[in-house]
Structure 1
Amino acid sequence: MNESPPLGIPPEDWAVTPVSVRVALLALLPLLPLVAENQRLQEQVTHLQARVADLEARLNQHSSNSSKPPSSDPPGAPPRRATRTRGRQPGGQPDHVGASRDPAPDDQITATILLRPERCPDCGLDLAACPLDPAAPIHHHVWDLPVIRPTVTDFQRHRITCPGCATPVRADLPPEVPRGAFGPGVAAAIALLHTDYRLSLREIPRLLGQFFHLPISVGATTQLYHAVGAAAAAPYAAVEAVVRQRDANIDETSWPQGTLPLWLWTMVTAVATLFRIGRRSRATLTAMVGPDFGGIITSDRLRVYA
């Protein structure tokens, strides 16, 4: 056989190779690409099997074998086991220690009304001129909300005509005075009611009007809310920079904004906590932790964390 030696075998080695070995080697050479392709396919099958097992495990999760709520159970989920009742009626149990409101301290009392009996209920004697008993009276404290009305400050910007050049000069507002009709207290209340108490920007003007007698429109409420967001940009960026340098626990919960199905993301570290509203996506996670985050994330194995 005068075939050229395969690539990598010197001619002198090939010349002393037995003919039977040459024939077998030349027959195997066309199979080498198939061996490499077979190895690649086996690795792909192993990866896909692991992925299928993970997806099946997720599909089989329900409220009985995971922390998912019963409202998320699919139609084929097994029925939840009935909780064992303890035979107790709801509410306070017999012989339980009761709780009562502590009396207000003296410095918090805003009004005191002295009450004295006027007539004896047994004999009908008039008690108006009788002295009070030395025993301490029984205190009955009533807590109530006062009628709250906003403060209105009238900044009167007077004008003076300059005697030197006859130019009319109008007084400027001080730097700390808002250029709009509402002060920082109103803006802070709007931000708190919309975020912590989840009132809509349309409900907030009604509450401010009914409880605080503050006339304000939906448009002005929206402008003040966005102004608070802009003012908080710098401290938010500072917190963002701190949490991105540490290991973090991250979770997300449904937080719809109107018709948008958004999520509230929470990034908790040992020194600070960061919140962010966005979609349940990898892009939102990257925007929260930054593209160069090198810490350890503890999460609930949502796909975006992989």
Structure 2
Amino acid sequence: MSKGALPEEAPDGQMGPRLLSYVAVLSGLYHLSVRKIQRLLQDQYGTHFSIGLISEAQGRVSSMLTPTHQALHQHIKKASLVHVDETTHNRNGEEHTRWVWLLSSEDAVFQQVKYFRNKDAAKSILGEHTQAIVVSDQCPSYNWIEPERHQFCLAHVQRNLQQMADYSGKGLTASIGNRLVLLFKSVFRTQHRYEAGDVDEIMWRRRMVSIHQRGID
């Protein structure tokens, strides 16, 4: 009995690389359940893949991407300045809320889904001994970061100040809020003009110092 060898381009299994990638996109990007993926493939292509095979395909793609995913994470953690954020991630009607964590540097973005939004989760994303300047919202999960290396996201701070300015009781609270909102708008306007090349670094520094002085007077 003789047995011929498969061509090199023959897929390893019932799904080729394009279909594996498609299944991964349906799951990871569009959050479709395995059963919905099964139904969609049947409606689109007339295929009849089992639930187990589709689940296995997801695992194969995950294994293929793991080294690149980990390398990207390590690369960003070495940056001198990083941004971190987290948001809810509901999947397939599950009762337990998941969280998508995002870590970004100037040249790359890393995302990971976790079951928690606590300090341990933040440390696993940033690295417990990170030396980077970390920009985040005011979530308590980041309170372990040394203050001199922790920058609150100014957009979030401005939103909080706007709430002060809109305070229904008016009075001193609203007055302080309005003043601080104007200062923050000056900061953003100056930064945007610098990034657009309308002012040089010397002028940018002078204006930022002036805004800072107005804030403490």
Q: Same fold (TM over 0.5)?
A: yes
Match of 2:12 among 156, 169, 179: 179
Give distance in 2, aligned partners of 1:229 and 1:290.
22
Please state if 1:201 is matched with 2:34: yes
SS of equivalent to 1:219: helix
C-alpha separation in 2, matches of 1:291 and 1:174: 48
Q: Which of the numbers 101, 123, 143 marks the counterpart of 1:286?
A: 123
Q: How many residues align?
A: 139
Select the structure that is richer in helix: 2
SS in 2 for 1:202: helix
Structure 1 stretch displaced more, 186-195 or 172-181:
172-181
Letter in 1 for 2:89: W
Gaps of 5+ in 1: 1-158, 161-169
**Structure 1 counterpart of 2:126, which letter?**
V
Q: Which amino acid letter does the alignment assign opposite residue 262 of structure 1?
A: R
Separation of aligned partners in 2, 1:260 and 1:202: 20
Cα distance in 1, alignment partners of residues 85 and 22 from structure 2: 27
Deviation, structure 1 residue 254: 0.4
Q: Is 1:262 the equivalent of 2:98?
A: yes
* 1:231-279: CA deviation from partner (whole Å, max 9, x where unpaired): 0011111211111011111111101342321100111211100001111
Matches within 5 A, 1:104-115: none
Aligned to 1:300: 137
Q: Which residue does 1:218 correspond to in 2?
A: 51
Q: Which has the larger radius of gyration?
A: 1
Letter in 1 for 2:46: H
Q: Secondary structure at the match of 2:86?
A: strand
Indicate the percent of aligned positions where both proteins have the same amino acid: 24
**Shift, 1:201, TM fit:** 1.4
User: Does residue 109 of structure 2 align to residue 276 of structure 1?
Assistant: no
Structure whose residues are more often strand by fraction: 2
Q: Secondary structure at the match of 1:248?
A: strand
Runs of 4+ in 1 over 4 A off after TM superposition: none
| Of 86, 104, 110, the match for 1:252 | 86
Offset from partner CA, 1:147-199 (integer Å, 9 cap, x none): xxxxxxxxxxxx43xxxxxxxxx333345533321111111001101111121
Q: C-alpha separation between the residues in 2 aligned to 1:269 and 1:214?
A: 42
- Superposed, 1:143-158 pairs within 5 Å as none
Q: 1:56-82: per-residue Cα shift (whole Å, max 9, x none)?
A: xxxxxxxxxxxxxxxxxxxxxxxxxxx
Structure 1 letter corresponding to 2:95:
T
| TM-score (structure 1 length as normaliser) | 0.43
Secondary structure of 1:171's counterpart equals: coil
Q: Distance in 2 between matches of 1:266 and 1:213?
A: 37
* Structure 2 residue 24 is the aligned partner of structure 1 residue 191: yes
CA distance in 2, matches of 1:264, 1:303: 17
The AA in structure 2 aligned to 1:184 is P
RMSD over aligned CA atoms reads: 1.6
Any idea what SS the aligned residue of 1:232 has? helix
Matched position secondary structure for 2:34: coil
Q: 1:173 to 1:291 in 2, by over 3 A?
A: farther
Which amino acid in 2 is paired with 1:249? Answer: H
